[in-house]
Amino acid sequence: MAAQRKTSRRKSLGQGMTEYIVIVALVGVAAIGTYSFLGGAIRSSTAGIAHEIAGEDAKTSIDAAKAAAENALSQAGTKKTLNNYNGGNH
């Protein structure tokens, strides 16, 4: 009887761990997708913050972040096909 409860508990803990791993993987995939979509804007914004912390003018970095964000938004509305995959580069 005790061995049966021990086996049941192991299966329950294994199931919980598996569900946790699946959730972590999904969050990771979502983060990668978001970063690839908004990567240019994130990099430029981070560069602007770094320039401001260093006491320098961050206007060029801020402008680059705005341009990257606008580019990402314009690409979001276009239909994705094999002709324009990867920016249309063949």
pLDDT in tens, 15-69: 788 899 999 999 999 998 888 777 877 888 888 888 888 888 878 877 888 888 8
The torsion angles phi and psi of 19, rounded to 5 degrees, stand at -65, -40
Collapsing DSSP to helix, strand or coil, 5 comes out as helix
Q: Are 40 and 71 in contact (CB under 8 A)?
A: yes
Q: Are 89 and 75 in contact (CB under 8 A)?
A: no
Residue 59 is assigned to a structural domain of this protein: yes
67 to each of 12, 31, 41, 45, 64, how far by Cα in Å? 50, 22, 8, 11, 5
Residue 18 is assigned to a structural domain of this protein: no
Residue 42 is assigned to a structural domain of this protein: yes
Q: Work out the angle between the directed axes of helices 2-53 and 59-76 (0-180°, nearest 10).
A: 130
Q: pTM of the entire structure?
A: 0.46
Q: What is the DSSP letter of 84?
A: S
Residue 54 is assigned to a structural domain of this protein: yes
Residue 10 is assigned to a structural domain of this protein: no
Q: What is the pLDDT of residue 27?
A: 96
If one compares 63 and 82, the residue with the highest pLDDT of the two is 63
Residue 70 is assigned to a structural domain of this protein: yes
The domain in which residue 69 lies consists of 33-76
| Domain count for the chain | 1
